[in-house]
Amino acid sequence: QKEVEQNSGPLSVPEGAIASLNCTYSDRVSQSFFWYRQYSGKSPELIMSIYSNGDKEDGRFTAQLNKASQYVSLLIRDSQPSDSATYLCAVNPTAGNQFYFGTGTSLTVIP
Protein backbone atom coordinates (compact mmCIF):
# COMPACT_ATOMS: atom_id res chain seq x y z
CA GLN A 1 0.00 0.00 0.00
CA LYS A 2 1.35 3.39 -0.96
CA GLU A 3 1.89 5.85 1.83
CA VAL A 4 0.03 8.63 0.03
CA GLU A 5 -2.57 8.11 -2.65
CA GLN A 6 -4.15 10.57 -5.02
CA ASN A 7 -6.44 10.19 -7.97
CA SER A 8 -4.18 10.93 -10.93
CA GLY A 9 -7.01 12.44 -12.93
CA PRO A 10 -7.14 14.23 -15.18
CA LEU A 11 -9.75 16.32 -13.45
CA SER A 12 -11.50 18.90 -15.60
CA VAL A 13 -13.68 21.68 -14.25
CA PRO A 14 -15.18 24.73 -15.95
CA GLU A 15 -13.89 28.16 -15.11
CA GLY A 16 -15.54 29.52 -11.99
CA ALA A 17 -16.39 26.11 -10.58
CA ILE A 18 -15.03 24.47 -7.43
CA ALA A 19 -12.24 21.96 -7.96
CA SER A 20 -11.94 19.25 -5.32
CA LEU A 21 -8.70 17.34 -4.95
CA ASN A 22 -8.41 14.40 -2.60
CA CYS A 23 -5.61 12.57 -0.85
CA THR A 24 -5.48 9.62 1.54
CA TYR A 25 -2.54 8.47 3.61
CA SER A 26 -1.68 5.25 5.35
CA ASP A 27 0.36 6.28 8.39
CA ARG A 28 -2.14 7.04 11.12
CA VAL A 29 0.35 8.99 13.22
CA SER A 30 1.12 11.52 10.47
CA GLN A 31 1.11 15.05 11.78
CA SER A 32 1.77 17.43 8.91
CA PHE A 33 0.18 17.73 5.52
CA PHE A 34 1.02 19.89 2.54
CA TRP A 35 -0.38 20.75 -0.86
CA TYR A 36 1.97 21.75 -3.66
CA ARG A 37 1.18 22.92 -7.17
CA GLN A 38 3.43 21.97 -10.06
CA TYR A 39 3.07 23.57 -13.44
CA SER A 40 4.31 21.58 -16.40
CA GLY A 41 8.08 21.80 -16.63
CA LYS A 42 8.42 23.63 -13.33
CA SER A 43 9.22 22.62 -9.77
CA PRO A 44 6.57 22.32 -7.04
CA GLU A 45 5.45 25.41 -5.18
CA LEU A 46 3.80 25.36 -1.78
CA ILE A 47 0.11 26.21 -1.65
CA MET A 48 -0.84 25.33 1.89
CA SER A 49 0.07 23.36 4.96
CA ILE A 50 -2.37 21.96 7.48
CA TYR A 51 -1.74 20.33 10.83
CA SER A 52 -5.07 20.21 12.66
CA ASN A 53 -8.38 18.60 11.89
CA GLY A 54 -10.84 20.84 10.13
CA ASP A 55 -10.61 23.46 7.44
CA LYS A 56 -7.91 25.99 6.70
CA GLU A 57 -8.63 28.74 4.20
CA ASP A 58 -6.22 30.89 2.23
CA GLY A 59 -7.82 33.00 -0.46
CA ARG A 60 -9.50 30.72 -2.99
CA PHE A 61 -7.90 27.64 -1.46
CA THR A 62 -9.26 25.57 1.41
CA ALA A 63 -7.47 22.57 2.85
CA GLN A 64 -9.50 20.05 4.81
CA LEU A 65 -8.02 17.48 7.16
CA ASN A 66 -9.69 14.50 8.78
CA LYS A 67 -7.14 12.47 10.70
CA ALA A 68 -9.67 9.85 11.79
CA SER A 69 -10.39 9.06 8.15
CA GLN A 70 -6.75 9.68 7.11
CA TYR A 71 -7.96 12.05 4.45
CA VAL A 72 -6.84 15.48 3.32
CA SER A 73 -8.37 17.51 0.54
CA LEU A 74 -7.88 20.76 -1.30
CA LEU A 75 -10.76 22.85 -2.60
CA ILE A 76 -10.16 25.56 -5.16
CA ARG A 77 -13.02 28.02 -5.42
CA ASP A 78 -13.70 30.12 -8.52
CA SER A 79 -11.26 28.02 -10.51
CA GLN A 80 -9.23 29.86 -13.11
CA PRO A 81 -7.42 28.56 -16.19
CA SER A 82 -4.19 29.53 -14.44
CA ASP A 83 -4.99 26.91 -11.81
CA SER A 84 -4.42 24.21 -14.42
CA ALA A 85 -1.50 22.20 -13.03
CA THR A 86 -0.63 19.03 -11.18
CA TYR A 87 -1.39 19.15 -7.47
CA LEU A 88 0.81 17.13 -5.15
CA CYS A 89 -0.21 16.01 -1.69
CA ALA A 90 2.65 15.54 0.78
CA VAL A 91 2.56 13.95 4.20
CA ASN A 92 5.20 14.19 6.90
CA PRO A 93 4.71 11.16 9.16
CA THR A 94 7.23 12.27 11.75
CA ALA A 95 8.52 15.74 12.43
CA GLY A 96 11.95 16.24 10.96
CA ASN A 97 11.75 13.39 8.50
CA GLN A 98 11.20 13.22 4.78
CA PHE A 99 7.90 13.84 3.06
CA TYR A 100 5.89 11.20 1.31
CA PHE A 101 4.43 12.56 -1.90
CA GLY A 102 1.42 11.36 -3.79
CA THR A 103 1.65 10.90 -7.54
CA GLY A 104 -0.31 14.09 -8.09
CA THR A 105 -3.67 15.00 -9.60
CA SER A 106 -3.72 16.77 -12.94
CA LEU A 107 -6.28 19.58 -13.00
CA THR A 108 -7.50 21.35 -16.11
CA VAL A 109 -9.73 24.41 -15.79
CA ILE A 110 -11.66 24.93 -18.99
CA PRO A 111 -12.32 28.56 -19.98
Partner 1 sequence: GAVVSQHPSWVICKSGTSVKIECRSLDFQATTMFWYRQFPKQSLMLMATSNEGSKATYEQGVEKDKFLINHASLTLSTLTVTSAHPEDSSFYICSAREPGQETQYFGPGTRLLVL
Out of 44, 50, 83, 85, the only residue in the binding site for partner 1 (CB under 8 A) is: 44
Using DSSP bridges, classify how beta strands 105-110 and 11-14 pair: parallel, antiparallel or unpaired.
Answer: parallel
In a 13 Å sphere around the CA of 79, the CA atoms on its Cβ side amount to: 22
Q: Show the binding pattern over residues 59-98: x = contacts partner 1 (CB under 8 A), - = does not.
A: -----------------------------x-x-x--xx-x
Site for partner 1 in 16-35 (CB under 8 A): 32, 34
Q: Does residue 46 belong to the site contacting partner 1 (CB under 8 A)?
A: yes
Q: Encode 25-54: b = buried (16+ Cβ within 10 Å), e = exposed.
A: beeeebebbbbbbeeeeeebeebbebeeee
Q: Which residues bind partner 1 (CB under 8 A)?
A: 32, 34, 36, 42-46, 49, 88, 90, 92, 95-96, 98-99, 101-104
